[in-house]
Structures are given as structure tokens and as C-alpha cells.
Amino acid sequence: MGIIIRQSIKGTIVNYVGIAIGFFTTFFVLTRFLTAEEIGLTRVLIDAAVLLSGLAQLGTSSSVIRYYPYFKNDKAQRSRLFLLVFSSTVYWF
């Protein structure tokens, strides 16, 4: 079996396990320990966080391109650049 097929099968298994965990958490754990209002509040907070994180990403790539020459010479500044790039890519995964 090729590498791509093996990685696809592993990725599919991980996706299905994640779906099963999400289903179990949503339908059994949350409904047992939280009221309907608390579940709604958590969903609103999560949805608002996702929406605002997308808006916060708008200027990140242009600022990395603009300030890279200042960051590349100093090691402490490079770690800040890494955090900036890392925070902008985490949203997409």
C-alpha cells in the first residue's frame, strides 16, 4: 500500500473518531450536565470566537511581509514573528 493511501486511511479514521467524540459530547455529556440556556450560551460564545478570530487574521499576512526585514536579524524578534505566523496558521487547521 502506498504512502498516500495509508495517510488517507489514517486521516479518515482520525476524522471519524473526532466525529464520534463530538457526537458523544454534544448529545450525552452536555445534555446531562448543562441546561438548554447554558448549551446555547456556549454555542454563541464559540461561534463568536470563531467569527472574531477570522476577522483578526485580516492584516496578519501583510504585516509579516512588511516587517520581516526587521525581524530576521534579531533572535528575540524572530520568536515574535514565529508567534505571529503560528497564530495566523492555527486558525486554518
Q: Are residues 11 and 55 in the same domain?
A: no
Q: Are residues 69 and 93 in the same domain?
A: yes
Q: Are residues 46 and 74 in the same domain?
A: yes
Whether pTM > 0.75 for this model: the answer is: no
Total of domains in the chain: 2
Instruction: Give the pLDDT confidence of 6-30 residue by residue, as tens digits.
Output: 999 999 999 999 999 999 998 998 8
Residue 49 has pLDDT above 90, yes or no: no
Instruction: Give the pLDDT confidence of 54-81 residue by residue, as tens digits.
Output: 777 777 777 777 777 766 666 666 677 6
Domain extent at residue 61: 35-93
Q: Are residues 42 and 74 in the same domain?
A: yes
CA dist 46 and 1 (Å) reads 40
Q: Cβ(70)–Cβ(77) under 8 Å?
A: yes
Q: Are residues 3 and 42 in the same domain?
A: no
Q: How confident is the model at residue 87 (pLDDT cuts 50, 70, 90)?
A: low
Q: Are residues 10 and 48 in the same domain?
A: no
Map grid coordinates 488517507 to a residue: 8
Report residue 41: phi and psi, to 5°. Answer: -65, -45
Whole-number pLDDT of residue 38: 93
Q: Are residues 90 and 76 in the same domain?
A: yes
